[in-house]
Structure 1
Amino acid sequence: MSQPTFTFDDLKRILLEGSGAPEGGGLDGDAQDVLDTEFSDIGYDSLALLETASRIEREYGIDLDESVIGDATTPRAFIGAVADHLVAPAA
């Protein structure tokens, strides 16, 4: 069985499903232009990120630490944190 992945497109889809598109930009455009931009600068607050984390936990069957929300302030950091949780040692 292949290892699940979490991409920018996955983050974008889940953010839009849970929080909608913010006024004034958001995640539109080239991923490389957005990946290192603070969530607050693209219109997403901590509540949007909490909802996103909850949806990711349900969809991917993982538990994200609360610190993920506080520490992952950019899409790149958030994607990396989720990817780290998806890589689980074999039991």
Structure 2
Amino acid sequence: MAEQAFTLEDLTRILREGAGADDAVALDGDIIDTDFESLGYDSLALLETGGRIEREFGVTLDDDVFTDNRTPRSLVAAVNDTLTAAVGG
């Protein structure tokens, strides 16, 4: 099975679909190292985002994935680590 990668573009699409986007925040801009709180996403929005990632990519994320990964860069890396473990494990 080919390894599937989770990208920043996947994350921004899922954020928009699940929680919407604050008009003051340009998700198309350089957000990779901006924390989710500054982007206007609270814990409920991130919970919805996590559920959508799990369904779309067929993985189970740790309960603390969003508390441990507060920026898009960190979250994308964590999801990709989970995808890699799922393929290899």
Selected match of 2:66 from 69, 85, 90: 69
What does 1:51-70 align with in structure 2 at a 5 Å threshold?
Answer: 51-70=48-67
Structure 1 residue runs of 5 or longer lacking an equivalent are none
As a proportion of its length, which structure holds more helix? 1
Matches of 2:27 and 2:40, distance apart in 1: 9
The offset of 1:69, in angstroms, is 1.5
Letter in 2 for 1:78: L
Does the Cα contact within 8 Å between 1:19 and 1:51 map onto a contact in 2? yes
Letter in 2 for 1:55: R
The offset of 1:28, in angstroms, is 2.7
CA RMSD in angstroms comes to 1.3
Matches of 1:72 and 1:58, distance apart in 2: 19
The runs of 4+ residues in structure 1 deviating greater than 2 Å are 88-91
Does the Cα contact within 8 Å between 1:37 and 1:75 map onto a contact in 2? yes
Q: TM-score, normalised by structure 1?
A: 0.88
What residue number does 1:35 align with?
A: 32
Q: Note closer, same or farther for the CA distance 1:90–1:25 as it changes in structure 2 (3 Å cut).
A: closer
Matches of 1:8 and 1:23, distance apart in 2: 19
Q: TM-score, normalised by structure 2?
A: 0.90
